[in-house]
Structures are given as structure tokens and as C-alpha cells.
Amino acid sequence: MTLELRVAALIKQIPRFEEMRLGDDGRIIRGNSSLEINPYCRRAASMAINLARETGGRSTVVTLGPPQAAEALKEMLAAGADEAVLITDPKFTGSDTLATARALSAALRLIGPFDIILCGLNSVDADTGQVGPEVAELIGLPFVAGVRTLDLREQELHLGCERDDGWREVVVELPVVISASERLCSPAKAKPEIFQTISNDQIRHLDAASLGCGPWGSEGSPTSVGKTRTLTSNRRKIRLSGPAEKVSEQLMQLLIEKGLFEADQHQSVGRVQNSTNVFDRHPVTVVIEPGKKQLARELLGKAAEIGERRNANVVALVFDDSNSMDFASWGADEVVRSMSNGLEELAGRLVADWAVGTQPFCIIGPSTTWGREVMGRAAARLGVGLTGDAVELELTSETLTCWKPAFGGQLLAAVTSASPIQMVTVRPGMLHVLEPRIATAEIVDLPILNTGRVKIVKHEVNEEVSSLARARRVVGLGLGVHPEEYPQVRTFCGYLGAELAATRKVTDRSWMARGTQIGITGLSIAPELYIAVGVSGSFNHMVGIRRAGTVVAINPDETAPVFDQSDIGIVHEWGAIAPYLIQSLVELECQRENGALSG
């Protein structure tokens, strides 16, 4: 190896979820919560250290935070980092993702250049995943997300990447910014008795003055957090016991009474397109991810509602050759398209350039791997606020209020933006799907760009994973169900009309695909019905289903924590009760066909 790489890792401290407490006002009581390094950031730091060692180079760990953030840097130095940089100053207080990205970018330019910059896939307290793409845009580098395998070949990185819907393999030339998945490598750690011997003198400090004129902190942060809503888990905790056949009948009756087997009820698109309408000149805009039609319907439906209230045009920004009339029927009045192969870097540039000339009221995009980079790059390029991973959108006067989960899903926070263009990414499966309308749309073609710096070698889509986020019913598997029993579980899912998910321990054993993992380092979902089978009920998993409607737990261990977080608990082996549940679903389907059950 002839390269002597300079590698940087960007890390962040987050509260320990298990120790967090909420005050009467619904806000976090921070004094009682200790801090830890975000788990994804530990992987980024570990890989930075390893790459520097292997090439005879140098690793640098960087964080933005208060003076006490030095403790995290001391641990990384003890774990093997060559140097550590703390960006700290009261002027950085209140930094949102854009202000954070600006400060980190300024620091990287000052102490760099670097061949590789690593960051975590996202921070598990906020789950935005947009600082990495914004840093890449601000310093003019390519970006690759969710890296699980890394192979350095001279000036190229060959990377295997975990995506929301599957797997991607890419090649990119150095320098580059990449985000680390959970399974990229072991986390960087050091024992307290070792890193506590490291002094502050071994850490380089950068203040606001050393990075330039800013603006920094809250002054340079377009987004702000307002009121919060606590998500309390008021589960019914009904416990069913007895013979498997009887318990199965009781469970089905309870689910029927809850209306969980009724047909989907879709609203219709509120405003029928009319070319004689005089629209507000600031359109409501939706960025459409290639190949994600269901997600496009969700976002365009909400955009149509906002457009109706503002009497504003709804514009769909499209990056492939999809049928434009589909987008029109789902709520778009205008389809603006560019055949740029959907490459994130190019799509981000096109969104920003289009917005400069059009000045839309808002831009709504998907909170997916693709959407986070596209929207993050566009926001950084435009210098506007971006709210990440929203689950609800509300229009109040001239402001779009974006409700997003925070602190492991324990509460929802209302985030607003003071930018003239308000941007937000929305988590898949959170918005109502509207019935199509009969409509036509104006079609506008943008230039074709083919100068992306990330070359996609392979892309595999797992359809099972793609449909999980929007599923009405989900069955989650824990270690209590062996793969030999999976065919029976899939049969059950087929009759139930459910998608299959898993805990981290199941995906760690490769029993299920990584993309099906639910929890703090996986997906967060909100199905109407979640059935946890053989799941112990750890915090890290259950936080991913906080917004589920009804939770059912099936576990032979009556002391399993999952029962305290479920509406209905069944103390039984899966294999014993499964045949009766399947038979009940078969009978239910017969009743529906005979008209005995509505829906």
C-alpha cells in the first residue's frame, strides 16, 4: 500500500435513552441523562483509525459540542485515533443540521485536506441522516451512504452499501465522504481508566472565530424546535392463557372488535385540477424517488392537501421515465422531469437549481437513503432549513409545521423553518394514501446531467423490505422462532396480509434481511397491527414500534418484558398456537366472502 491516507471521522454525543426523563412540560430533563457516543459514529471512528493504520496515514476525530464533549474525544484517542478536534464555543449553541454541517465543513477545510471523511449513518436520537450529505455538498465531495463493506484500491473505494430497500455496490474515487452502517466494523471503544488519563492538552480546540464569520449556532439555524408531544405507551396489557385453540379464538375476536380486518379506507384527492384556477406563485413541490410509486402517492396526496389550502400549484420533480400521468392523478398539477438516472448528487443539484428560479413554498421529499442525500444536498446548496424524518405535516398560516420523533421515539417535536423555502423529508408509510383523480398535468423537461462521481456497479431491491414501511400489519420475529418455523410464519402472514420484520439479533444471524430490522438502529414503523413472535421486548427493538396501533406478543416466557409493552399477550410457543391462528384466519376469510363480515 503506497497511500498514506488522511482520514477524518465526525462523531456526535447523544443522551442514553434508558436514562432519559421527561418533565411535566414534555421536555427532556437533561441533567439526569448521561451522554454516549452515537453507535454509528463509533463505527465511523473505528474505520477511520483502521484505514489510517493500514496505510501508514493519520486519523482525526472531530466533534461539535460543549467543552464536556472532550470526554468523547479522549475515548477515541485512547481507542487509537492520532488526533482529536473539538469545535466548541457558546456561539455554536442551538445549531441545527445546516449550522452543524457548516461548522464541521469549515473545520475540515481548516485542518484538512482529507482523503476520506466518515460519519455515522445517522444519529439514533434524531434519525435525520442529513449532516453527512450536507457536509459533502458544502466541501464539494461525493457522498456514499450506509457503507457495510469497504475495499481500498489505490485511489478508488469499492463499497457495498445497505439501502432502505436492499443492497448497492459502488465505486468512487478519493476524496469522498461516506457514512458507516452498523455492520461496517466493530465500534471504537476504550476503557474509562485508559481514556481518563488523557488530558485536554491532547485535544485541539477550535472556536467560532477560527472558523470564520458564520453565522453560527441558533443565528445560523433556519429550523427551530417548538412544542413537543409525549408519546406515552398506554398498552392494554391483556394476558390470554389456556388451551391454544381457545386463546386463538379470543385473540381473533379482540382484533375483530378493534376493526383490524376492515378494508383500507382512502380519502380522495381534495382539489380537482382546473387550468382556469389562479394559483399562488409559490408552488408546493414533491421530490419523487425513482421506482417508489407508493411513496410518491403518499407525498403527493399531502402536497395536494397543502396546495388546496394555499390555492397553490403542486409540482412533482421526477428523475426517471415514469408515467407522468400517474403523478398527475395522485395530486401533481405539473411534472418537472430530468432523465439523470436518479443519481443522488445530480438530483440534489437539479432540485436546488430549479428551486432558485421557482422559489417554491416548500419542498417535500422522502426520508429514505436516496431522499436524505438529495434533500440534504439541495438544502445545503440553497442555504435553507431541512427538517428530517417527519411523520406528520401541518399547515399554519405561512408556516409548515413538521412533527418528527425525537429521543428514541419518546416524543414528537414540532419543527418549523424560517427559510423562504421550507424543506422536509417524510418517513415512508406515515401519510394517508388518497384515491387517484382524473387529471392532466403540464410536463416540463430539465437538462440531463450525467457527471455523477459515484459509479453504481450493482443495485438489488428487496421488495419485501420496500413494502414493510407502509404495511398495515406486520409480524416481527425474535430469536424465539427458529428459521425452520419460518415457512409456517410466512403462511400466517399470507392469510393475515402482513409483512415480515425482525429484531437485530435475528438479522445478525442472517436469518432475515438487514432491511427488515426494527428498532433503534433499524426501521421505525407504525402499522395498525404489530404481532411480536418470540420477541423478548428489549428497549432497542420496541422503540421502533412505539407508533404501532395494536401490539400483540406471543412468547412462552411469561416474564418476558414484551408483555409489559403490548396490548395483548399470549403465553404460548409459536408452534403450538400457529395452526389455530391460521385456521381462524381461513374461517374469517370465508365469512368475509359470504358477507358475514363487513370490509
251-275 pLDDT, tens digit per residue, is 988 988 888 877 655 555 544 444 4
Asked whether 14 and 55 are in contact (CB, 8 A), the reply is: no
Query: Domain spanning 232-263+462-593: which superfamily?
Result: TPP-binding domain (3.40.50.1220)
pLDDT band at 26 (very low <50, low <70, confident <90, very high): very low
Intra-chain end-to-end CA distance of the chain, in Å = 65
User: E strands, 72-218, where?
Assistant: 83-87, 116-120, 143-153, 156-163, 166-173, 176-180, 203-206
Q: What's the chain's average pLDDT?
A: 88
Residue 534: all three cell numbers together: 418470540
Q: Is 1 exposed, middle or buried (0-12, 13-18, 19+ CB in 10 A)?
A: exposed
Q: Once rounded to an integer, what is the mean pLDDT over residues 469-477?
A: 89
Q: Which residues of 64-93 are buried (b: 16+ CB within 10 A; e: fewer)?
A: bbeeebbbbbbbbbbbbbbbbbbbbbebbe
Dist. CA 261–CA 91, nearest whole Å: 54
pLDDT, one tens digit per residue, over 546-592 is: 888 899 999 999 999 999 999 999 999 999 999 999 998 888 777 76
pLDDT band at 595 (very low <50, low <70, confident <90, very high): low
Asked whether 519 and 544 are in contact (CB, 8 A), the reply is: yes
pLDDT band at 280 (very low <50, low <70, confident <90, very high): low
Query: Would 6-221 and 232-263+462-593 be classified into the same CATH topology?
Result: yes
Question: pTM, whole model, 2 decimals?
Answer: 0.86
Out of 3.40.50.620, 3.30.70.20, 3.40.50.1820, 3.30.565.10, which CATH number does the structure's domain 267-457 have? 3.40.50.620
Q: Once rounded to an integer, what is the mean pLDDT over residues 279-300?
A: 89
Quote the DSSP letter at residue 517: B
pLDDT for the residue numbered 399: 92
Q: Where are the domains of the chain?
A: 6-221, 232-263+462-593, 267-457
Q: If residue 300 lies in a helix (H) or strand (E), which one and from where to where?
A: helix 293-310
pLDDT, one tens digit per residue, over 369-408 is: 999 999 999 999 999 999 998 989 999 878 999 998 776 6
Which range has the top average pLDDT, 32-46, 199-213, 243-257, 441-455?
A: 199-213
Architecture of the domain made up of 6-221: 3-Layer(aba) Sandwich (3.40)
Assess whether pLDDT exceeds 60 at residue 70: yes
